[in-house]
Amino acid sequence: MLVGLIIACEVAFWVLLAAGLLFRYVLRMPRTGLALLLCEPLLEVVLFAVTAVDLRNGAEPDWRHGLAAVYIGFTVGLGHSTVKWADARVAHRFAGGPPPVRPPKYGTARAVHEWKVAGRWILACAVALALLEAAARYVGGDGDTGSLRAWQTRMLWVIGINLVVAASYTLFPKRRPEHGPDPEPAEHR
């Protein structure tokens, strides 16, 4: 049941996003669109409540409970940037908005961009880690929390990978080609 709810939350996320942007830009009803977009966090509240009730009713914590915590964490850390990404593209396509800003390709600007991306992923993992720890403590010493601890280890790996990627752009920045046309817009220099 929990895996089905996680899948339903993911589908509902994209349906609400599409409906919110449709109302906002295509149907020219920005308040309705905003209301639909603001319903997105309710999905995580429902998933959190169902997971907590499942554990409270004596379910052994397993990979599904860990997946629910990770899903909530990733939605908290990455959901807003996903909505912004989609909003910029739909605004450009259907409402005459400016073209979406592309990430910088070179130098310090690229390194700063990569650290911002890493920050979002680290936030996602930190929220997941906190929820996993809360679930492990909620179950207490009587339950088998091994699967929750395994998810925590995975989240630490994701944090480490993001730190390595961001650091690599800082320590080894890609340099702009010296010959030929400038492939990067001026706003990223």
Tell me how far apart the alpha carbons of residues 20 and 42 are, in angstroms, rounded to a whole number. Answer: 14
Whole-angstrom CA distances from 156 to 13, 50, 130 are 26, 25, 12
pLDDT digits over 168-180, tens only? 999 998 888 887 6
pLDDT digits over 66-80, tens only? 999 999 999 999 999
Tell me how far apart the alpha carbons of residues 64 and 51 are, in angstroms, rounded to a whole number. Answer: 9
CB within 8 A of 176, min separation 6: which ones?
105, 106, 107, 182, 184
Please give the average per-residue pLDDT across 161-188, as a whole number: 80
What is this structure's pTM? 0.85
SS3 101: coil
pLDDT digits over 81-138, tens only? 999 999 999 999 988 899 999 999 999 999 999 999 999 999 999 999 999 999 888 8
Handedness of CA 60, 64, 70, 72 (dihedral sign): negative
Does the structure show a pLDDT above 80 at 182?
no
Q: Is there a contact between 24 and 11 (Cβ–Cβ < 8 Å)?
A: no
Tell me how far apart the alpha carbons of residues 79 and 164 are, in angstroms, rounded to a whole number. Answer: 23
Does the structure show a pLDDT above 70 at 186?
no
Does the structure show a pLDDT above 60 at 189?
no
Task: Please give the mean pLDDT across all residues of the chain.
Answer: 89
Tell me how far apart the alpha carbons of residues 150 and 78 are, in angstroms, rounded to a whole number. Answer: 22
